[in-house]
Structure 1
Amino acid sequence: MPRIAESRPAAEPSSAEQKERHRRILRAASRLGAEHGLEQVQMHDVAKAAGVAIATLYRYFPSKTHLFASVMNYQVERFSLTGSLPEGASPAQAVESLLVQMTHEMARRPKLSLAMIQANNQAQMAAAPAAAINDAVFQKVVADTAGLADESEENERRVRLIVHCWYGVLVSVLNGRMGMDEAEGDIRMAAGLLFADR
């Protein structure tokens, strides 16, 4: 199991050059994670693939757990910018479409997806900020997709429940316990139950 590094905060890139270096690291980790999974990826290999010094990698990502939790955030943000949703869809249909598309996308690279999930779970157990950011970002993507401008407790609970349901479905798909047709059916039912009256 990858270790959680000491609690020092990760550096945030500020200049254009630093931001590009940061993106290169995330892209390199994504490629290596898709090929090898979390346990087999070495930080030195990520630094080499990204063309950065190992000290630079550790400045932005104190551990492999931090790195892959950040990769998850990077992937979710990328998807939220590029995913296409049906025009004129109801909130339930829009959420269903988003989650089905994300399931297909994550199932294309199961080793990377499991690496991100494992790292995010470990970051949550350690109360690392990256995990809280991932939860908030993903929940905002779902709320925006459903058109929930009202941040009521009920709407927050609906979003949280659909995310938890989807997460369980996704893990079952990635572990080979559920086929894609069954996964899509479960996502469709959950979205309908939680968002049909929105």
Structure 2
Amino acid sequence: MRTRSQHQRRKRIVQAAAALASRGGVEAMQMRTVAERAGVALGTLYRYFPSKMDLVVAVVGEEIDLLESSIERRPPAAETPAGRAVDVLMRATRGLMREPELADALIRSLIMADVETPFGDRLARLLLRVAVGDRHADTESERPERSALTGALAGVWVHELLEMLRGRRTYEQIQQRMEIVASRLLFDF
């Protein structure tokens, strides 16, 4: 169990790492630089995050936390499960594209990660909750195909986001493509 000061220290470290990544990608997230910017000793940083990838995963976790908070404050209003899922994905797209270098660094790092990253699973669970509605989310263990479908939808979105970061897709194109894919994958939700 972390104390309040430990929690604040961890948060400062993650914020420092995100700020560095937003200006220069993951390469800018040198552990020593992160420690200096966060105002902690290098050994302290390594106690919280044994590797740079652990730190990247924490930054991604913070981004998902922000998305989940946004969904709680303002739930998607679309009538269909697919529409609600697309709303979540496009909010995530807008949030990430506010800091395109950070988005690029995080997505590329997650794709190449040698460590377990909760990003895909968390996003798929969020999509599932939103698509079926919170009131039905507890019964979804009986329908594992729905988890697989929302996981596939999250995977398509990651690919589309990478295409946007490469300059091959616009926001509008991603939205249109996600609407098509979501309507096909989630048609019997």
Question: How many pairs does the alignment contain?
Answer: 181
SS class of match (2:2) = coil
> What are the residue-to-residue correspondences of 1:86-165 with 2, within 5 Å?
86-87=76-77, 89-123=79-113, 126=114, 128-129=115-116, 131=117, 133-147=118-132, 149=137, 150-151=140-141, 152-165=143-156
Letter in 2 for 1:136: D
TM-score by length of 1: 0.85
Amino acid at match of 2:171: M
1:5-84 equivalences under 5 Å are: 14-83=2-71, 84=74
**Aligned partners of 2:67 and 2:91 also within 8 Å:** no
Shift of 1:18: 0.6
Structure 2 counterpart of 1:177, from 162, 168, 171? 168
* Aligned amino acid, residue 61 of structure 1: F
Gaps in structure 1 of 5+ consecutive residues: 1-12
In structure 2, runs of 5+ residues without a counterpart are none
Query: 1:63-96, CA deviations, whole angstroms, 9 ceiling, x for partnerless residues?
Result: 2121112211111112111243333632111101
Note the C-alpha offset of 1:104.
Answer: 1.5
4+ residue runs of structure 1 moved beyond 4 angstroms? none
Q: Which digits, 9 at most, give the CA deviation of each residue in 1:127-155, with x for residues without a partner?
A: x23x1x22322221111111262132211
Distance 1:27 1:167, change over 3 A: same
- Work out the CA distance in 2 between the residues paired with 1:116 and 1:88: 29
- The 3-state SS of whatever aligns with 1:31 is helix
Instruction: Measure the CA separation in 1 of the matches of 2:178 and 2:2.
Output: 39
**Alpha-carbon distance in 2 for matches of 1:69, 1:86:** 26
Higher relative helix content: 2
- Structure 1 distance, partners of 2:94, 2:78, is 22
> Percent identity over the alignment?
28
Contact persistence 2:120–2:154 (CA under 8 A): no
- Could you tell me whether the CA contact under 8 Å between 2:84 and 2:131 is conserved in 1? yes
SS class of match (2:28): coil
Q: 1:108 to 1:171 in 2, by over 3 A?
A: same
User: Cα–Cα, structure 1 residues 88 and 171, in superposed 2: closer, same or farther, change >3 Å?
Assistant: closer
Q: For residue 39 of structure 1, give the secondary structure of its aligned residue in structure 2.
A: helix
